[in-house]
């Protein structure tokens, strides 16, 4: 679609300049008069009950303004993370906060508080909790299953024999909590020429966004102003209001820039409302300072998996059946959905004829978990890649061909209900990547050079990548400017800007004549999607398209009303509305906007569609009369699963003596429909590659099982990849075939960009080690050395959160 003027072209998102000059403001960069500083006291115990808090010494200190405890904030039903709690369920759980004139005093006051906690049993590995007689992470039980039919605590235990069998790689025979399937599983396995069984562990790990989630709040005339580190903008509003106990109209969220989120800041989180409650109590603006260590505790983490999988392939390499069982480490807050999403990803990426998923979500007294970039899809991507290689080897096939044969395509059906896809071209992505990477020739290279051995890997990633039903809001002012109001968050993907260009594309407005309004709910923003789940590209090219189409209809009607004829007699170009049979008869956009103000009604937002969200409606009311308003809900047709897909090819050089490996080459290919913003896409693909490399070899939660203590609360301890952990050049490409259910053909990519990378790495490590499958992420150097030396690993099979 080369006739687009903006879509598919690079541009400079307006916020980049502030980022390189230091002028970009993040939540912690704001100050207001009278602001005081709050710090938190967090639990030193993995599980317990607070029996007494003595704050007398702290309260007597000069400069201490107030103390906020769990008694001052609404109780949150367990296992959901609380704002403050008297029942801490992990080390780092916030118990109280102190506000003072300066931070030093707040810290001194916290040190002076005496707190008694009665210890309770705790657990850091789901299998230890499942074992009969093992501790439960919560007093209410050890399992918490979330489902649309109802969520609740359960206590599920397995016998020692059942645990031992599972650790030995056998099919689990213990109780589970969730199940779905499609097709005839028995027939699928009967049709298979080869069947493999593998058990696996993917250890959870912290999001560790660069910006600690510091937040500030104050009240003015009954409205709570919140400066917070938010992934989404408008989508935060209902939850933020609910948690603050006010109506949505009585909250203002300022989140101009957010220092990364990766799933940890999708909706309003409890700690973001702490300053609001504190401010209300003491009558002053409060900034809650969050440290890096606290960001580790409260900043969310990926769900861990301990699982077993059986998979069958026919003689051509087609997947005939998959049976997967996943125990999820859902941390202390019992987040939900990763395991079932992993099952869904298998049904998409490998498309077996029949499949069964069984899941068991088990709580641990470790950090709260949440969505992390490809939650579920990326864990299973890492698990599946070496199994695909094993199948290819057994069937004497090229691993690329086995992947292509099973690759998601337009006929693929997904999940338990076997829904169709909007479009899918994973085979084309694999072909493109194989050519860029020179796969066939590289397979014939010498593998071994002294202690160094080369490994080649292919990975595939998937996440659903779209949403519908949100609102678009644009405005043309009498100066001729196009104003795009967007409630998409700004966490660094630039999709708030790239999707805004959809409106400019439709209205043929020069990009430098456009202004984006975002990052502050007082800027009259529409109801927009969560800025997560790879949805914003698909969802908000649609919302800005429908708003622009609404504006276009109104502009033509105004032209006809002013210059005669019918609306369909008019067209647009050069920021003018002209009569097609007499192009000299024209009105500039500025003149149209001025006329719309005179006409009022729907033209300038005095009236608006009934089906728009209340947030959008209030914004329209505020801007009514300032120009021509285009506003609409996205009611465009949409059926089926909207896939974001990606594949990656990698070459590593692994040193058998040290267990370390270097990534020599990396090619990532995006399959996300039409490319909207090439440079932004490359950023996502390359950043996703770094994330995949971190998950494959570096990042994990480590807990001391004896005391429940986390061992890695800082960046380097967590294993965040640095410049030196990743190749200095990564190559990317895109299939660039339009999806039929988006006006511009675009879908999202953020999450598959990582899934393909971690999978390519686990595949390459296996290839370098002659097909050995660790069945674990991360694969650490010591694991490789132990394997090469024929030694036992230093941990039990299927152990997790371990050193």
Least Å distance, CB 609 to other proteins, is 35
Q: Measured from the CB of residue 292, what is the shortest distance to other proteins in angstroms?
A: 4
What does the block give as tokens for 674? 């039409």
> Which residue from 6, 36, 38, 39 is in contact with other proteins, where contact means CB under 8 A?
39
Backbone angles phi, psi at 31, to 5 degrees: -130, 145
Between 466 and 492, whose beta carbon lies closer to other proteins?
A: 492
State the binding string over 595-614 for other proteins (x if CB under 8 A, else -).
--------------------
Q: Is residue 104 within the footprint of other proteins (CB under 8 A)?
A: yes
Is the Cβ of residue 175 or residue 293 nearer to other proteins in the bound state? 293
Angstrom distance (rounded) from CA 764 to CA 766 = 5
Stretch that binds other proteins, among 142-150, 220-228, 301-309, 714-722 (CB under 8 A): 714-722
Member of 720, 746, 760, 798 binding other proteins (CB under 8 A): 720
Decide if residue 5 touches other proteins (CB under 8 A): no
**3-state class percentages of the chain: helix first, strand second, coil last, to nearest 5:** 30, 25, 45
Using rule CB under 8 A, residue 584 touches other proteins? no
Asked whether the beta carbons of 28 and 289 are under 8 A apart, the reply is: yes
The CB-of-592 to other proteins minimum distance in angstroms stands at 34
CB 131 within 8 A of CB 121: no
Task: Report the chain's C-alpha Rg in angstroms.
Answer: 27
Taken as a whole, the chain contains a residue count of 803
Which of 59, 72, 107, 398 touches other proteins by CB under 8 A?
A: 107
Distances 735 to 11, 589, 667, 671, 741 between C-alpha atoms, Å:
21, 37, 13, 5, 17
Residue 512 in contact with other proteins, rule: CB under 8 A: no
- The answer to whether 574 contacts other proteins (rule: CB under 8 A) is no
- Looking at the Cβ atoms of 642 and 695, the one nearer to other proteins is 695
Chain positions 7 to 36 lying near other proteins, rule: CB under 8 A, are 10, 12-13, 15-26, 28-29
List Cα–Cα distances, 369 to 237, 296, 330, 419, 693, in angstroms. Answer: 22, 11, 6, 28, 21
- Residue 688 makes contact with other proteins by CB under 8 A: yes
Question: Could you say which DSSP state residue 141 is in?
Answer: B
Q: What b/e readout covers 53-88, taking b as 16+ CB neighbours within 10 angstroms?
A: bebeebeeeeebbbbbbbebbeebebbebbbbbbbb
Non-local CB neighbours of 739 within 8 Å, separated by 6+ positions: 422, 423, 538, 642, 673, 674, 745, 746, 747
Residue closer to other proteins, measured from CB, 112 or 599: 112
Rounded to whole angstroms, what are the CA distances from 352 to 189, 313, 323? 10, 9, 10
Q: Cβ contacts of residue 442 below 8 Å, gap of 6+?
A: 456, 651
Judged by beta carbon, residue 16 or residue 190, the one nearer other proteins is 16
Compute the C-alpha angle 488/489/490, nearest 5°. 125
Site for other proteins in 252-311 (CB under 8 A): 257-262, 289, 291-293
- The stretch near other proteins (CB under 8 A) out of 91-99, 103-111, 385-393, 408-416 is 103-111
User: Does 160 participate in binding other proteins (rule CB under 8 A)?
Assistant: no
Out of 77, 148, 728, 790, name the contact with other proteins by CB under 8 A.
Answer: 728
Q: Based on CB atoms, which residue is closest to other proteins, 158 or 494?
A: 494
For other proteins, the closer of residues 123 and 497 by Cβ is 497
* Neighbouring residues of 257: CB distance < 8 A, sequence distance ≥ 6: 15, 18, 19, 24, 25, 26, 490, 519
CA dist list (Å): 635 to 70, 554, 603, 638: 43, 18, 20, 8
Token pair of 334 as six digits: 């019992």
Binders of other proteins among residues 188 to 217 (CB under 8 A) are 208-212
Q: Smallest distance, Å, CB 111 to other proteins? A: 6
Taking the complex as a whole, the smallest distance from the CB of residue 419 to other proteins amounts, in Å, to 32
> Which of 114/448 has CB closer to other proteins?
114
Question: Which residue, chain included where needed, has tokens 């169709």?
Answer: 420
Least distance (Å) between residue 333 CB and other proteins: 22
Quote the least distance from Cβ 227 to other proteins, whole Å: 13
Distance, in Å, from the CA atom of 348 to the CA atom of 346, rounded to the nearest integer, reads 5
Stretch that binds other proteins, among 50-58, 270-278, 416-424, 674-682 (CB under 8 A): 674-682
Part in contact with other proteins (CB under 8 A); list of ranges 62-70, 332-340, 487-495, 761-769: 487-495
715 lies in the binding site for other proteins (CB under 8 A): yes
Q: Are strands 286-288 and 215-220 parallel, antiparallel or unpaired?
A: antiparallel
689 in contact with other proteins (CB under 8 A):
yes
Fill in the per-residue mask, 113 to 152: x = in contact with other proteins (CB under 8 A), - = not in contact: ----------------------------------------
* E-assigned strand segments in 607-723: 628-633, 643-655, 661-671, 703-704, 709-710
62: contact with other proteins by CB under 8 A: no
Q: How far is the CB of 60 from other proteins (least distance, A)?
A: 17
Least distance in angstroms from the C-beta of 536 to other proteins: 14
- If the CB atoms of residues 29 and 314 are measured against other proteins, the closer one turns out to be 29
Measured from the CB atom, the residue of 615 and 757 that comes closer to other proteins is: 757
DSSP string covering 705-750, please?
A: TTTTEES--SHHHHT---GGGS-S--EEEE-----TTSTT-B---T
- Comparing CB distances to other proteins, the nearer of 344 and 492 is 492
Give dist(CA 312, CA 352) in Å, integer.
9
CA separation, residue 411 to residues 350, 385, 454 (Å): 13, 22, 36
- 654 part of the interface to other proteins, by CB under 8 A: no
168 binds other proteins (CB under 8 A): no
Judged by CB under 8 A, which of 372, 422, 493, 712 binds other proteins?
493
Contacts with 650 (C-beta within 8 Å, 6 or more apart), sequence order:
456, 457, 458, 459, 663, 665, 666, 667, 757, 760, 761, 763, 764
In the complex with other proteins, which residue's Cβ is closer, 650 or 773?
650
How many residues line the site for other proteins (CB under 8 A)?
A: 65
* Least spacing, CB of residue 514 vs other proteins, in Å: 18
Q: Which residue in the set 501, 686, 700, 747 belongs to the binding site for other proteins (CB under 8 A)?
A: 686
The Cα–Cα gap between 200 and 383 comes to: 7
Residue 662 lies near other proteins (rule: CB under 8 A):
no
Q: Where are the alpha helices (DSSP H) in 226-362?
A: 236-244, 270-282, 292-298, 338-349
Q: What beta strand segments (E) does 424-569 contain?
A: 448-449, 452-464, 471-476, 482-485, 514-517
Q: Given the complex with other proteins, which of 24 and 563 has the nearer CB atom?
A: 24
Contact between 711 and other proteins (CB under 8 A)? no
Please tell me whether residue 63 binds other proteins under the rule CB under 8 A: no
Does 227 engage in binding with other proteins (CB under 8 A)?
no
Distances (CA, A) of 686 to 207, 677, 699, 731, 759: 18, 14, 18, 8, 15
In the complex, the residues that contact other proteins under the rule CB under 8 A are 10, 12-13, 15-26, 28-29, 39, 103-104, 107-108, 111, 208-212, 257-262, 289, 291-293, 491-494, 679-680, 682-683, 686-691, 694, 714-716, 720-724, 726, 728-730
């Amino acid at each position: 679609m080369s006739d687009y003027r903006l879509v598919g072209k690079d541009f400079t998102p307006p916020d980049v300049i502030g980022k390189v000059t230091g002028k970009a403001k993040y939540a912690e960069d704001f100050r207001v008069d009278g602001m005081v500083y709050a710090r938190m006291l967090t639990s030193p115990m993995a599980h317990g009950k607070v029996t007494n808090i003595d704050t007398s010494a702290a309260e007597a200190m000069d400069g201490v303004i107030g103390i906020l405890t769990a008694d001052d904030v609404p109780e949150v039903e367990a296992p959901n993370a609380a704002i403050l709690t008297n029942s801490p369920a992990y080390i780092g759980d916030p118990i109280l906060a102190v506000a003072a004139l300066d931070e030093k005093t707040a810290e001194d006051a916290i040190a002076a508080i005496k707190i008694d906690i009665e210890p309770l049993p705790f657990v850091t590995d789901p299998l230890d909790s499942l074992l009969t007689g093992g501790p439960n992470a919560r007093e209410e039980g050890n399992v918490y299953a979330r489902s649309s039919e109802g969520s609740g605590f359960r206590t599920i235990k397995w016998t020692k024999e059942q645990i031992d069998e599972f650790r030995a790689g056998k099919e689990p025979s213990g109780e589970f909590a969730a199940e779905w399937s499609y097709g005839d599983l028995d027939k699928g396995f009967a049709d298979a020429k080869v069947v493999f069984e593998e058990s696996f562990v993917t250890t959870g790990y912290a999001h560790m966004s660069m910006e600690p989630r510091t937040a500030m709040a104050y009240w003015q005339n009954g409205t709570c102003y919140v400066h917070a580190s938010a992934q989404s903008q408008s989508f935060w509003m209902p939850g933020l209001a609910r948690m603050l106990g006010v109506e949505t109209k009585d909250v203002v969220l300022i989140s101009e820039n957010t220092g990364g989120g990766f799933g940890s800041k999708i909706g309003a989180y409890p700690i973001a409302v702490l300053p609001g409650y504190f401010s209300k109590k003491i009558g002053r603006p409060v900034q809650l300072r969050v440290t890096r260590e606290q960001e580790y505790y409260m900043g969310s983490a990926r769900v861990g998996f301990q699982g077993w999988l059986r998979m069958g392939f026919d003689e051509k390499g087609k997947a005939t059946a998959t049976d997967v069982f996943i125990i999820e480490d859902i941390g202390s807050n019992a987040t939900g959905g990763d395991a079932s999403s992993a099952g869904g990803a298998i049904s998409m990426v490998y498309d077996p004829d029949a499949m069964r998923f069984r899941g068991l979500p088990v709580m641990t007294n470790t950090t709260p978990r949440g969505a992390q970039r490809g939650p579920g899809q990326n864990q299973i991507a890492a698990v599946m890649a070496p199994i695909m290689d094993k199948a290819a080897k057994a069937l004497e096939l090229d691993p690329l061909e086995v992947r292509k044969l099973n690759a998601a395509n337009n006929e693929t059906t997904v999940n338990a209900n076997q829904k169709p896809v909007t479009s899918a071209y994973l085979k084309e992505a694999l072909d493109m990547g194989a050519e860029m990477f020179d796969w066939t020739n590289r397979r014939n290279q010498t593998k071994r050079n002294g202690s160094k051995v080369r490994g080649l890997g292919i990975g595939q990633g998937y996440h659903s990548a779209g949403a519908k039903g949100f609102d678009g809001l644009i405005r043309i002012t009498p100066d001729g400017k196009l104003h795009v109001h967007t409630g998409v968050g700004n966490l660094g993907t630039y999709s708030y800007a790239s999707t805004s260009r959809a409106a400019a594309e439709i209205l043929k407005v020069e990009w430098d004549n456009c202004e984006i309004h975002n990052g502050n709910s007082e800027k009259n923003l529409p109801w927009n999607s969560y800025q997560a789940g790879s949805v914003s590209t698909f969802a908000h090219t649609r919302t800005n398209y429908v708003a622009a189409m609404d504006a276009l209809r109104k502009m033509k009607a105004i032209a006809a009303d002013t210059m005669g004829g019918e609306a369909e007699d008019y067209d647009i170009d050069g920021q003018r509305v002209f009569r097609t049979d007499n192009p000299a008869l024209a009105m500039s956009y500025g003149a149209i906007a001025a006329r719309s103000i005179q006409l009022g009604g729907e033209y300038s937002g005095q009236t608006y569609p009934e089906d728009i969200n209340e947030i959008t409606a209030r914004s329209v009311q505020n801007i009514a009369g300032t120009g021509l308003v285009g506003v609409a809900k996205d009611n465009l047709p949409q059926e089926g699963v909207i896939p974001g897909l990606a594949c990656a090819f990698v070459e590593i050089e692994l040193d058998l003596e040290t267990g370390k490996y270097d990534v020599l080459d990396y090619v990532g290919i995006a399959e996300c429909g039409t490319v909207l913003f090439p440079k932004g896409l490359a950023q996502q693909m390359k950043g996703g590659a770094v994330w995949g490399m971190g998950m494959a070899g570096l990042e994990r939660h480590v807990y001391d099982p004896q005391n429940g203590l986390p061992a890695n609360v800082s960046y380097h301890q967590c294993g965040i990849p640095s410049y030196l952990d990743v190749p200095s050049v990564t190559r990317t490409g895109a299939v660039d075939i339009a999806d039929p259910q988006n006006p511009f053909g675009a879908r999202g990519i953020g999450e598959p960009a990582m899934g393909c990378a971690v999978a390519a790495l686990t595949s390459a490590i296996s290839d370098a080690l002659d097909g050995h499958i660790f069945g674990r992420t991360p694969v650490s150097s010591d694991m490789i050395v132990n394997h090469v030396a024929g030694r036992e690993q230093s941990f039990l099979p299927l152990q997790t959160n371990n050193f």
